[in-house]
Structure 1
Amino acid sequence: MRGTSTGRLLAVALISATVGLVGCSSSGTEDRTEGTRASEAPPVDYKNPPEVESVPQMRGSRNLELPLEAYTWTDAEERVRRQGEDRIAAECMRGFGFDLEPRPLYRGDKALRDANRYGVSDMASASRFGYNTDPYLRGKRPEEHYTPAESLALFGPQGDTGQKTAKAANGKAIPEGGCWGQALRELASKGPKVHPDKEEFASHLALFAYQESQKDKRVQKAFADWSACMKAKGYHYNGPMAPVEDERFAKSTTPTPAEIRVAEADVECKEKHNVIGTWYAVEVAYQKRAIESNQQMLDTLKQRKDAILRAASASTGR
């Protein structure tokens, strides 16, 4: 396997990491785990909008600091976890006679999330890419090439081949989900147990706060000012996320001159009415309210994350 790229590992990390983490987090002890099912109504009361401490003047949305990020996986923490998964999986693969290449160093996606959080906000980016994503922020996922024997050991049997009887060519039993599944389970077993539906609780809270912040009267006032500014320039949109979803611009990854003109006007109006600063300040207030309402659950998730990180770091010395 040396010299091969690991695109499938990346794909599995995105699709299966959560499955691997939550699959063994409750271990059949649902009633004794922290938290309840995510299908319940979000446990935050926004009927009385939270106070905003201050509204900064912001011309862009890079390097945002959001309160709930303390309870989610930062890019640096995700790198540590992935490196731990790679080392554990590589040790397992050696038992089957394969030399597993680690995944490329995880770049992270915070820069991409921040850049697009409030729509286009950077004039240089708007002038070059319109409403398309900067290719540098998006990055490129490498492809992978595994032999059938390597794939069997790494990912386990696929389809209806039957996990219980799965064995490699050397006769050694393959762990459930292959060496990759074993690596995920080993790290996921660390720290306090939580209900599987709550593994992504902090991220769900952040999404809920983001959605609710858009309904806030202070943000709606900023949106109305932005919309009036755009109308004066000849563009008719109800809010700053509307042009992002404009079907005319979604058809191609190459921006048209018309798209670029709209994007540039968008940024100008955001800056004129401090839309980014207002929206960010309100979202921070909503996230703080969410933390106050769910502090115990979030603390449990942070303890769990810290335990997984310690285990991932410890695997270096194997």
Structure 2
Amino acid sequence: MALPARLLAATCLLSAAALTLGGCAGAETAADGAGKEPALGSVEKLSSTESLAFPIAAYEITPDQQYQAKRAQNRLIEQCMKRFGFAYSLPAPVPPGADDSRSRVFGLASAEDAARFGYARPRRATDPAPATRQSPAPLSRTGQTVLNGVDPVAEAEAKAKGRAAAPTGEPMSQAEAEEAPGSGIIVDHKEVPVGGCGRESALKLYAPKPGSVDILYVFNLGAQAESRALEDSRVRKVTTKWSQCMARSGFTTSGPDTVQSDLGLEQGELSGPEAVTAAKADVACKARVNYIGIRYAVQSAYEKSLVEEHAETLALFRQQTQDRLRLAAQLNG
């Protein structure tokens, strides 16, 4: 099964910031209880997702902004490593292609793509050429210590004994890091930042001050809306109708989000004859039961409610995003 578009959109941020910063405070953005199902009003009949406007989208970070942030974080890592005497250069991130993150937000929707490619994602003329994965030059043991804030040998020994080698209770903002006790690791007569240059770069870019909004805050709100929408009685009902329609075409599947795994389609079979036949039935059934129209109406209702509930934090997140992009522009030259 393909990852949801919302999860794909966050992948760059996860690798650039969240894994470096540790825990995600954004998981506490709203109460767990879904409460009463929101009213929908009239539901539009839809057969495409590409032009849909979601309430939370106004606060999401675009692929180009993610790209600029990643470039800037690379520069911060390189600057930090240079302070300790290492000429460390990171490969440039791959520029984003055309943003089609909405094209399959509710699964396959294009009848043309279904007939030509099945469930495989077609390459577009605007997509960047496949990049050869590049790795930075290997670092010495000391260089790895500076980058990660922990001696790699000590880390391996600690893991073998089931212990953590990295310090706990790390500061969650750059301002706090500058006031907190250091790592105690001295290289080239200077103390290595807690968490190394990797963590320092993330704090400087994503959490310069205490109270910085979690970089995944908006993603978590969107994921929460999506989760609530999937449990909504109206979505469950239309999903059942879609499954019944698929069954009449000879395919047993519980829903569009699991259709590929339900049908046992492996990665190399996504554009094969069976996949094409199933994909064409999938899209036709979505149109027949107005699956996209109902999913969009329900999810938008939950998103609208969360946007209203968290308007103050979202406004702060938007301002901090602009501050981050200004810093990125300075670093990227």
- 1:263 pairs with 2:287: no
- 1:107 pairs with 2:122: no
Distance 1:133 1:176, change over 3 A: farther
- 1:275 pairs with 2:264: no
Amino acid at match of 2:87: F
Q: C-alpha separation between the residues in 1 aligned to 2:311 and 2:245?
A: 40
Which residue does 1:121 correspond to in 2?
109
Which residue does 1:165 correspond to in 2?
185
- 1:59 pairs with 2:47: yes
Per the TM alignment, residue 199 of structure 1 is displaced from its structure 2 partner at its CA by: 4.6
Per the TM alignment, residue 53 of structure 1 is displaced from its structure 2 partner at its CA by: 5.1
Once the two structures are superposed, residues 115-169 of structure 1 have per-residue CA deviations (whole angstroms, 9 ceiling, x without a partner) of 33212222343345433444667965713142223655544543526863353xx
Which residue does 1:254 correspond to in 2?
269
Which residue does 1:83 correspond to in 2?
71
Amino acid at match of 1:17: A
Q: C-alpha separation between the residues in 1 aligned to 2:115 and 2:204?
A: 47
Q: C-alpha separation between the residues in 1 aligned to 2:59 and 2:135?
A: 32
Q: C-alpha separation between the residues in 2 aligned to 1:184 and 1:280?
A: 34
Which stretches in structure 2 are left out of the alignment for 5+ residues? 1-10, 156-164, 166-182
Per the TM alignment, residue 90 of structure 1 is displaced from its structure 2 partner at its CA by: 2.9
Scaled by the length of structure 2, the TM-score of the pair is 0.71
Distance 1:278 1:13, change over 3 A: closer
Once the two structures are superposed, residues 3-43 of structure 1 have per-residue CA deviations (whole angstroms, 9 ceiling, x without a partner) of xxxxxxxx9964451144567x9xxxxxxxxxx88469x42
Once the two structures are superposed, residues 65-95 of structure 1 have per-residue CA deviations (whole angstroms, 9 ceiling, x without a partner) of 2211233322232123222212222333444
Per the TM alignment, residue 207 of structure 1 is displaced from its structure 2 partner at its CA by: 1.1
RCO (CA 8 Å, sep 6+): is it higher in 1 or 2?
Answer: 1
The answer to whether the 8 A contact 1:122-1:267 is kept is yes
Query: What is the identity percentage for the equivalent residue pairs of Structure 1 and Structure 2?
Result: 25
Per the TM alignment, residue 288 of structure 1 is displaced from its structure 2 partner at its CA by: 0.1
Q: C-alpha separation between the residues in 1 aligned to 2:258 and 2:328?
A: 42
1:110-189 superposed matches below 5 A: 111=100, 113-134=101-122, 142-149=133-140, 151=144, 153-156=146-149, 157-158=151-152, 160=154, 164-165=184-185, 167=187, 174-189=192-207
Once the two structures are superposed, residues 271-310 of structure 1 have per-residue CA deviations (whole angstroms, 9 ceiling, x without a partner) of 2332112211221111001112222232233333232222
The answer to whether the 8 A contact 1:93-1:153 is kept is yes
Which residue does 1:226 correspond to in 2?
242
The answer to whether the 8 A contact 1:202-1:298 is kept is yes
Q: C-alpha separation between the residues in 2 aligned to 1:176 and 1:271?
A: 54
The answer to whether the 8 A contact 2:91-2:135 is kept is no
- Equivalent residue pairs, number: 289
- 1:18 pairs with 2:9: no
Q: C-alpha separation between the residues in 2 aligned to 1:56 and 1:237?
A: 25
Q: C-alpha separation between the residues in 1 aligned to 2:14 and 2:189?
A: 30
From 87, 93, 103, give the equivalent of 1:98: 87
Amino acid at match of 2:96: R
**1:285 is paired with a residue of what secondary structure?**
helix
The answer to whether the 8 A contact 1:68-1:202 is kept is yes
Which residue does 2:220 correspond to in 1?
204
Once the two structures are superposed, residues 257-284 of structure 1 have per-residue CA deviations (whole angstroms, 9 ceiling, x without a partner) of 2222111110111123321122112211
Distance 1:160 1:133, change over 3 A: farther
Per the TM alignment, residue 312 of structure 1 is displaced from its structure 2 partner at its CA by: 2.1
Scaled by the length of structure 1, the TM-score of the pair is 0.74
Q: C-alpha separation between the residues in 2 aligned to 1:308 and 1:294?
A: 21
- 1:193 pairs with 2:181: no
